[in-house]
Amino acid sequence: MPAPIFEYAVYHPVLRTRLGVLEVREPKWTEVVNGGSMFTGKVTVPDNLISIANIKQCTSPHRAALYATVPSNARIMWGGPLLGRKWDSDTNTLEITAIDWRSWLYSIILGPKADGTSTNTFVYDSVDQFYIARQIVSRMASDGGVAAGIPPIDYGSEMTGIGRTMRITGMDFKSAGATLDDLANLDRGFEWDIEPYYASDGLPKLRFQAYFPQRGGPLPGLVFSKTPDGGNILNVEDQNGDATGVARRVWAVGEGPNAESTPWGSDNDPELADGTVLRTDAVSTYTGALSRAQLASYARAERLYRTETLDALVFPVRMDNPDVFSYSKGDRCRVILQDRWTDIDVSNCRILSREMDPGANTVKITVNLSDLALPEVDTDGAV
């Protein structure tokens, strides 16, 4: 198949009105599992006053949102607000930077009511975690009745069957993104994103999307390989086995007025009991009024994350081999790699990120060779 043709369309971030299309050189953007990403590119500014005025409007930080689209299939591959532009008068080039919509949530504070009347406190008792997550996002447009500056966001109606007890107060001055992470990072938590899509009116719109227990899934036909006989991996850029972040015992500590009353929870690797693994510890602090059970849940989630050595493998492939639209971040693949040092054939490797480089017609893939266990949907009761 031929390489996909991308268009870089710009819309107002709040009103959703179309502002124009940018001719972007050297466009690059990342797609990261459960994390923020960035778009970079260059725009040549011509000697034309009308074109200059349009480019200024389309690159105005916080007044423009850029979407990498594929007109042939009406797909939005990436989207987010313009964050910065840098002018180079020697080359008549504008360097632009945008962040994805997920990252934007970390700049929105769920504070007290804007009119100063109260602190804006919400308490949930054994409520489904997806419902609470949607409430967190919807609060961005309703703190003290002020919704200005917040684009319209759609929500699903899915539930997980996992109940949570959570207290959110404006006096913590936490961002919407950080508050979502507090909930999502609990044991038996979820992954979340803010995804742009084409609405029925033909304009980009945002949708809050949560994935339980995680996004993506196994794609049996998705194979990345490089052997003496060939393969679709162009070259292996990085192959690391790193245990510096491993922790076999994790402590989660809450806030308290003094050391004696500070709540805490912990979780241990089961292998510590029989002495078959070296112990390493880690500690994290969590704000808010958290129970010991909640802190223990945070500790378990972090310990599971920190248990395995991260064997990250980074490699580029062509956008058409395999078809870039046939897989995404979070999906699981098979990796075959044979050279003088390496001889691996591993299935169910999770794709952690994709870096898109349309100019080179390549996608740089990062997979985790240690993350091989397919997630099970846990339908136990409330926590």
Own/partner long-range contacts of 271-275 (Cβ < 8 Å, ≥24 apart): 272/248
Query: What is the predicted pLDDT for the residue at 293?
Result: 81
* Sign for the pseudo-dihedral over CA of 236, 75, 157, 174: positive
Least confident of 17-31, 79-93, 102-116, 179-193: 102-116
Query: What is the predicted pLDDT for the residue at 241?
Result: 62
Tell me the mean pLDDT in the region 37-44: 97
Query: What is the predicted pLDDT for the residue at 273?
Result: 87
> Does 382 have pLDDT greater than 50?
no
State the Cα–Cα distance between residues 214 and 217, nearest whole angstrom: 8
- What is the residue-wise DSSP string for 317-361? EETBBTBGGG--TT-EEEEEEESSS-EEEEEEEEEEEEEEEGGGT
Query: What is the predicted pLDDT for the residue at 118?
Result: 75
- pTM given for the model: 0.82
Tell me the mean pLDDT in the region 102-123: 86
| Residue % of the chain over a pLDDT of 70 | 88
> Does 172 have pLDDT greater than 50?
yes
Least confident of 2-11, 90-99, 112-121: 112-121
State the Cα–Cα distance between residues 65 and 104, nearest whole angstrom: 11
pLDDT class of 129 with cuts at 50, 70, 90: very high
Residues 6+ apart with CB under 8 A from 236: 226, 313, 314, 315, 337, 339
pLDDT class of 65 with cuts at 50, 70, 90: very high
pLDDT class of 379 with cuts at 50, 70, 90: very low
Neighbouring-strand partners of residue 76:
69
pLDDT class of 375 with cuts at 50, 70, 90: low
> Does 257 have pLDDT greater than 70?
no
pLDDT class of 306 with cuts at 50, 70, 90: confident
> Does 17 have pLDDT greater than 60?
yes
> Does 380 have pLDDT greater than 50?
no
Query: What is the predicted pLDDT for the residue at 377?
Result: 39
Mean pLDDT of the chain: 88
Tell me the mean pLDDT in the region 95-118: 89
The larger pLDDT score, comparing residue 345 to residue 307, is at 345
Residues 6+ apart with CB under 8 A from 127: 163, 164, 165, 166
| Residue % of the chain over a pLDDT of 90 | 61
> Does 202 have pLDDT greater than 90?
yes
Question: Cα 377–381–383 angle (5° rounding)?
Answer: 100
- Residue pLDDT, tens place only, 327-336: 999 999 999 9
State the Cα–Cα distance between residues 97 and 81, nearest whole angstrom: 9
Query: What is the predicted pLDDT for the residue at 308?
Result: 63
- What is the residue-wise DSSP string for 76-114? EEEEEEEEEEEEETTTTEEEEEEE-HHHHGGG-B--S-T
Tell me the mean pLDDT in the region 277-298: 81
The larger pLDDT score, comparing residue 57 to residue 240, is at 57
> Does 296 have pLDDT greater than 50?
yes
Record the tokens describing residue 63, joined without a space.
């007044």
> Does 51 have pLDDT greater than 90?
yes
Tell me the mean pLDDT in the region 48-60: 97
